[in-house]
Amino acid sequence: MHDTPSSGSTSRRLSFDTAATWSLTITTVLAIIIAIPLASVPFFATKTFVLAIGAIVTLVLFIVARLMRGNLSLPHLPLLGALWLVPIAYLLSTLFSGTNLATAFFGVGFSSDTFGLVLIFAVLATLATLILQAKKSQLVFLSGLALAFGIVLVVQVVFLLIGIFAPSVVSPTSNLIGSFVDLGSFVGLGAALGLLTLRFLPVRGVKRALLVVGVLLSLAVLALVNSVIAWALLSIVAFALFVEAIMHVNRNRAAADGESRPLVLPLVTLAVGFLFILGSATLGTALVQSAGTSVIDARPSWQSTFAVGSHTYAVSPLFGAGPGSFGEEWLKHRDRSINDTLFWSVDFTSGIGQIPTSFVTTGVIGALAWLAFFALLLYFGVRSLLMRLPSDPWARFVSVSSFIGALYVLTLAVLALPGPVTYAVGFLLIGLFIASLSTSEDRTLVFSQNPRVGFVIVFLFTLLVLASLGAAYVLVERYTADLAYGQATAAIQRGDLDGAERAVSRAITLAPSDHAYRAGTVVSLARMNQIANDTTLTPKTAQEQFQTVLSNAIAAGAAATAIGPNDYQNWAALGNVYGSLVPLKVSGAYENARDAYARAIALAPTNPVLPFIMAQIEQSNGNTEGAEAYLEDAVTLKRDYTQAILALARLKIEAGKTEEALQAAEAAAYWAPNDPGVLFQAGLLRFAAGDTLGAIEALSRAVQLNPQYANAHFFLGVMYSLTGDYERALAEVRVVAGFSEQNAVEVAADIAALEGGRNPFPTSRLAAFGIPYAPLDEPTRTEIAPAP
């Protein structure tokens, strides 16, 4: 016999339902607005962590409410089931693609293309479906979402004003969402939802004014972002609303049901959007440059994404390369021509868009899952808009706005790379739309009246709660490890090796990862240099400490390669450890460094930096021919790699190939005509090749570009002196003396000699200066080479 719940249990039951609604709303709002301005706190990982923990708390509250109620309202299962096809595809790809499980589950800092994050988004959408079925809960959630949009806009206006007038305090592109381009996508979504609210709800007074101001501010922010994709999506929504309003302009339904069909705001939005789409390269560019909000939205092209995908499908068509592995596939298969662009050193971890990236990493099963979900979403969405649109204004608004908002974000995910906040809001709107499809015909499972079914449901709910608690524990560990890694990186940058060691140790203890172990190799290498330069240590103590730190460095590098064997950076980190030992003639160091870099080059065959570093290792090992071959490989991969070109020129001079060295120097100057450092090196190499007048020309250009370049001034004076132009030589050396008192002391004898009409730079002194073997990266400074 079923007992009727008491009023007290009903009150508690309702409080848990309400708590679940508020938990979901607070999670969404907090994830949107949270931004901790500390370099050691990972921005996106923090937002994702809030979403994950909030989803778990909401899930537990929902389960408790259902257990107390004893029933479960079954949602629109076809569309919800289609949504879960995506995380299932990610799970299968994780298990059968052969990728690293930690990378597939979490990536680096809870990155978007991972099973873990897709699972979180699916859970959020499901919770929205189950919790937001009543008007009261929908009102709470949408009010919270509107509040979050308002906070983002207000804060962004403040950032823009401070950034324009005081850019040293806050950058005008600083925001609460992530990248400035993602901010544009987010406010575009907010503007679209604002237009839909004004169209379908009888908003009056202050609320209406706030909505209108919010839409107009969104347009202003979009103009400063200058994102064609965001403008296009918002313009489509505005166009649809404008056409719909025109179709109903002669009907008198607005007075009857209190609806408002404004024409002005959609028309203004459409006109402004169309203007900035057409004038993106002119009006938009001029505006962002004047406001200081110009940013580069660097992503692989459609062609590059498809090219990587075709190579991946040739090897693993069914399950793809594995979640979170697009970056590895990109490095293996990217076109060499990328090295001729500004983005040659960027290791892209995603393709042209989030969903196309998923097609590559999850294979055919992932592509079919996305296509099936898209098809069903469009089917039920269009059917709802055309044939089953509710008559109740609120229900109609929820159905239309959630579907349009979800479609906006999913389209954005095809064309671009929305951040975790925008992506999460899109999935929440998907869940809200599925909830809006619920009807009186939907089944309600009353498991409290059926002992067998009740036992199964309670058992499954209990397992789900336990799994949620376990997931929360793992998430806290991962996030704390990310915090420790951020602290280690910050400590390394400020030279705090002790703090960096402690932070790396915490990160590895909490959640071992290849990037934490790589940080460990960096700390160990810095510690080795510190020990080598510490004159207070006895030779025995220094040797013991050096050996201990070296062992730690090798162990960290090996651990990184074990966790991430397909990441070239791990092998490069191990190669750096062994490479640092090659000049010390440590047995086996050269062979191990060579093998590690061979693996790195195999994983990133078009990266010109790797053969350049190998050339340095070969040179340290005394293999000049090997170094020259690697430098030629680096230059072949990147024709304007001036660092490698100059290094190659110096090797050719050592080998007596003066003509080839001069050609290399000219090539470096050609590719970097406005780089003072390159011109300085080219000038010295021209002099070494016997072209003193050419050296004067290059050095003169260097000091013209950087008047504070003391070494360029000094050697320009040397060249003038060698040609007998003592007056110009004296002028250049006096410039050097004026930079600092130390310089004045160093060049005092040179000035005296030049004033007396004598050349103070004989051949022996030039050799002492190291001509032509000056450092590759000559910084701007006032020091000069000391006089012998």
Helix (H, G, I), strand (E, B) or coil at 445: strand
Which residues in the chain show pLDDT less than 70? 1-14, 109-110, 248-262, 439-443, 448, 764, 766-788
Residue 756 lies in a domain: yes
The structure tokens 């030279």 sit at: 495
Q: Do 725 and 683 belong together in one domain? A: yes
- Please, what is the angle between helix 115-131 and helix 7-33, to 10°? 140
Contact 105, 116 (CB under 8 A): yes
Token digits for 382?
A: 């269009």
Supply the pLDDT for residue 786: 34
What tens digit of pLDDT does each residue of 414-434 get? 999 999 999 999 999 999 999
Q: Which amino acid is at 374?
A: F
Residues near 535 by Cβ (< 8 Å), separated by ≥ 6? none
- Domain boundary among the residues 260, 295, 330 is at 295
Residues near 549 by Cβ (< 8 Å), separated by ≥ 6? 524, 527, 528, 531
What is the pTM for the complete model shown?
A: 0.85
What tens digit of pLDDT does each residue of 236-272 get? 999 999 888 777 665 544 444 444 456 789 999 999 9
DSSP 8-class letter at 179: S
For residues 176-193, one letter each, b for 16 or more C-beta atoms within 10 angstroms of the residue's C-beta and e for the rest, the string is bbbbbbbbbbbbbbbbbb
Half-sphere exposure of 574 toward its Cβ, with a 13 Å CA cutoff?
Answer: 27
For residues 485-520, one letter each, b for 16 or more C-beta atoms within 10 angstroms of the residue's C-beta and e for the rest, the string is bbbbbbbbeeebbebbbbbbebbbebbebbbbbbbb
Residue 592 CA to its chain's centroid (Å): 32
DSSP 8-class letter at 773: -
Residue 412 belongs to what domain range? 7-179+297-449
Which helix (H) or strand (E) element contains residue 557?
A: helix 539-563
Burial group, residue 408, by CB count within 10 angstroms (0-12, 13-18, 19+): buried
Please choose, from the candidates 188, 222, 182, the residue with its C-alpha nearest in 3D space to the C-alpha of residue 44.
182
Residue 708 lies in a domain: yes
Q: Is the peptide bond before 390 cis (omega within 30 degrees of 0)?
A: no
Start-to-end CA distance of the chain, whole Å, equals 105
Q: Do 308 and 274 belong together in one domain? A: no
Q: Do 19 and 155 belong together in one domain? A: yes
Half-sphere exposure of 158 toward its Cβ, with a 13 Å CA cutoff?
Answer: 8
Q: Which amino acid is at 507?
A: A
Supply the pLDDT for residue 6: 41
Helix (H, G, I), strand (E, B) or coil at 23: helix
Supply the pLDDT for residue 137: 94
Helix residue ranges, H only, 564-691:
568-579, 589-603, 609-620, 624-637, 642-654, 658-671, 676-688
How many residues are listed for the chain in this entry?
Answer: 788
- Please, what is the angle between helix 326-333 and helix 589-603, to 10°? 100
Please choose, from the candidates 183, 64, 48, the residue with its C-alpha nearest in 3D space to the C-alpha of residue 119.
48
- Give the integer Cα–Cα distance in Å for 569 and 561: 9
DSSP 8-class letter at 4: P
Q: Do 387 and 240 belong together in one domain? A: no
Q: Do 277 and 351 belong together in one domain? A: no
Q: Do 282 and 354 belong together in one domain? A: no
Helix (H, G, I), strand (E, B) or coil at 72: strand
> Domain count of the chain?
3
What tens digit of pLDDT does each residue of 684-713 get? 878 877 788 888 988 999 999 999 888 889
Angle at 581 between CA 580 and CA 585, to 5 degrees: 140
Residue 729 lies in a domain: yes
Q: Do 204 and 161 belong together in one domain? A: no
Supply the pLDDT for residue 16: 87
DSSP 8-class letter at 108: T
Supply the pLDDT for residue 26: 97
Residue 467 lies in a domain: no
Q: Do 306 and 286 belong together in one domain? A: no
Residue 473 lies in a domain: no
Residues near 659 by Cβ (< 8 Å), separated by ≥ 6? 689
Report residue 413: phi and psi, to 5°: -70, -25
- Please, what is the angle between helix 568-579 and helix 609-620, to 10°? 20
Report residue 656: phi and psi, to 5°: 80, 10
Residue 532 lies in a domain: no
Residue 39 lies in a domain: yes
- Give the integer Cα–Cα distance in Å for 748 and 741: 10
- Give the integer Cα–Cα distance in Å for 369 and 90: 9
What tens digit of pLDDT does each residue of 604-617 get? 999 999 999 999 99
Question: Which residues lie across from 73 on neighbouring strands?
Answer: 444
Question: Which residues lie across from 72 on neighbouring strands?
Answer: 445
- Please, what is the angle between helix 514-532 and helix 568-579, to 10°? 20
Contact 112, 417 (CB under 8 A): yes
Q: Do 201 and 274 belong together in one domain? A: yes
Q: What is the largest CA-CA distance in the chain?
A: 118
Token digits for 161?
A: 């004003």
Contact 334, 606 (CB under 8 A): yes
Angle at 77 between CA 71 and CA 78, to 5 degrees: 170
Report residue 412: phi and psi, to 5°: -60, -40
Angle at 439 between CA 438 and CA 445, to 5 degrees: 80
Q: Do 149 and 184 belong together in one domain? A: no
- Domain boundary among the residues 295, 325, 357 is at 295
Supply the pLDDT for residue 151: 96
> Is the sign of the CA dihedral 36, 38, 44, 50 positive or negative?
negative
Q: Do 174 and 46 belong together in one domain? A: yes
- Give the integer Cα–Cα distance in Å for 197 and 214: 12
Contact 178, 43 (CB under 8 A): yes
- Domain boundary among the residues 269, 295, 321 is at 295
Token digits for 255?
A: 């007075």
Residues near 56 by Cβ (< 8 Å), separated by ≥ 6? 468, 469, 471, 472, 475
Neighbours of 542 (CB within 10 A): 16
Q: Do 692 and 749 belong together in one domain? A: yes
Residues near 637 by Cβ (< 8 Å), separated by ≥ 6? 336, 339, 606, 607, 608, 611
Residue 483 lies in a domain: no
Please choose, from the candidates 341, 361, 355, the residue with its C-alpha nearest in 3D space to the C-alpha of residue 298.
341
